[in-house]
Amino acid sequence: QLQLQESGPGLVKPSETLSLTCTVSTGSISSRSYYWGWIRQPPGKGLEWIGSIYYSGSTFYNPSLKSRVTISLDTSKNQFSLEVTSVTVADTAIYYCARDLYTDSGSLFDTWGQGALVTVSS
């Protein structure tokens, strides 16, 4: 059964770069059937899609975050990663990685990681 696991620092200072990695088990991120996405949930708030990446490196980003976000993948390690630059306290959130079954109807996220809490604080 496919499993995804987020990893990375739980504390980031304001103005620095947030970096997270998602390790995919029992499944290949090189599959042509899926994208791989990041979603976040600030404390007490709803879900926000950050972006998704295809095995070829093609990406979609949330327009509201696009200027600060980079999603990349490492097929040799079966991992994909997220970077958010110039973070503020507003970027404090649980960050989820997920498999994105991108179809003619757009994205849907059929398998998720448990999430990683990242706090932005000095």
> What single-letter DSSP state applies at residue 108?
-
SS3 90: helix
User: 12, 34, 36, 37: which one contacts another protein (CB under 8 A)?
Assistant: 37
User: 13, 14, 89, 110: which one contacts another protein (CB under 8 A)?
Assistant: 110
Q: Is 105 in the site for another protein (CB under 8 A)?
A: yes
Q: Is 34 in the site for another protein (CB under 8 A)?
A: no
DSSP string, 50-70: EEEEETTS-EEE-TTTGGGEE
First to last CA, the chain: 39
User: Footprint of another protein on this chain (CB under 8 A)?
Assistant: 4, 37, 39, 41, 46-49, 52, 60-63, 96, 98, 105-115
